[in-house]
Structure 1
Amino acid sequence: MCEQEKKKLKSMSVSVSEVRHQRIRTNGIWMHVAEQGSGPLVVLLHGFPEFWYSWRHQITYLANQGYHVVAPDLRGYGDSDSPLSPSSYTLLHLVGDLVGLLDHFGAQQAFIVGHDWGAVAGWYLSLFRPERVKGFVSFCVPFFPRDPNTRSLESCVRLFGDGFYICQFQTGNLIAPMGMEIIDYLETPANLPLWITEEELQVYADKFQESGFTGALNYYPWEGSKVTVPTKFIVGDKDIGFQINGIREYVTGDFKNFVPNLEVVILDGGHHFIQQEKPEAVSEEILSFLRKFD
Structure 2
Amino acid sequence: MTHVPQRPPFGDDSPTKGSQASDGVRRRTVQAGGLEVPVLEAGSGPLVVCLHGFPDHAASWAGILDRLAQEGYWAVAPAQRGYWPGGAAPDGSYRIASTGQDVLTLIEALGREQADLIGHDFGAAAAYGAATLGPSRVRKLVTMSGPHGRQLMNALVADGDQQRRSWYMFFFQTALAEGAVEFDDFALVDRLWREWSPGYELPDAERAALKETLGAPGVLTEILGYYRQLFTLPADEAAQSLQARAFGAITVPSLYLHGADDNCFSVQLSDGMDDLFTNGLERIVIPGVGHFPHVEQPKAVADHILGFLNS
Q: TM-score, normalised by structure 2?
A: 0.76
| 8 A Cα contact 2:258 2:286, kept in partner | yes
Distance in 2 (CA, whole Å) between partners of 1:35 and 1:80 is 21
Identical amino acids, percent of aligned pairs: 29
- CA shift, 1:172, in A, is 3.0
- CA shift, 1:95, in A, is 2.0
Distance verdict in 2 for CA 1:188–1:256, change over 3 Å: closer
Q: Which residue of 2 aligns with 1:206?
A: 212
Q: Which residue of 1 aligns with 2:70?
A: 64
Distance in 1 (CA, whole Å) between partners of 2:180 and 2:264 is 27
- CA shift, 1:154, in A, is 5.0
Q: Deviations over 1:30-86 (max 9, x none)?
A: 21111111000000000012211111210111101100000000001146612487x
1:222 aligns with 2:279: no
Which of 123, 127, 134 matches 1:129?
134
Which of 15, 22, 26 matches 2:28?
22
Opposite residue 296 of structure 2, the aligned amino acid is E
| 8 A Cα contact 1:49 1:216, kept in partner | no
Distance verdict in 2 for CA 1:157–1:168, change over 3 Å: farther
| Correspondences of 1:125-274 after superposition (within 5 Å) | 125-145=130-150, 154=157, 159-161=162-164, 164-174=167-177, 181=180, 183-184=183-184, 186=188, 194-211=200-217, 212-220=219-227, 221-222=243-244, 225-243=248-266, 248=268, 251-252=270-271, 254-260=272-278, 261-274=280-293
Secondary structure at the counterpart of residue 286 of structure 1:
helix
How many residues get paired? Answer: 271
Distance verdict in 2 for CA 1:130–1:208, change over 3 Å: same
| Correspondences of 1:39-78 after superposition (within 5 Å) | 39-78=45-84
Secondary structure at the counterpart of residue 77 of structure 1:
coil
Aligned-residue RMSD, C-alpha: 3.3
| 8 A Cα contact 1:84 1:214, kept in partner | no
Secondary structure at the counterpart of residue 265 of structure 1:
strand
Structure 2 residues without counterparts, runs of 5 or longer: 12-19, 228-242
| 8 A Cα contact 1:237 1:268, kept in partner | yes
Distance verdict in 2 for CA 1:151–1:80, change over 3 Å: farther
Distance verdict in 2 for CA 1:187–1:106, change over 3 Å: closer
Which of 281, 285, 289 matches 2:300?
281
1:114 aligns with 2:137: no
Secondary structure at the counterpart of residue 94 of structure 1:
helix
Distance in 2 (CA, whole Å) between partners of 1:74 and 1:229 is 23
| 8 A Cα contact 1:24 1:33, kept in partner | yes
Q: TM-score, normalised by structure 1?
A: 0.80
Q: Deviations over 1:104-128 (max 9, x none)?
A: 1111110000000000000111111
Secondary structure at the counterpart of residue 226 of structure 2:
coil
Q: Which residue of 1 aligns with 2:238?
A: none
| 8 A Cα contact 1:45 1:114, kept in partner | yes
| 8 A Cα contact 1:46 1:73, kept in partner | yes
Greater C-alpha radius of gyration: 1
Distance verdict in 2 for CA 1:49–1:93, change over 3 Å: same
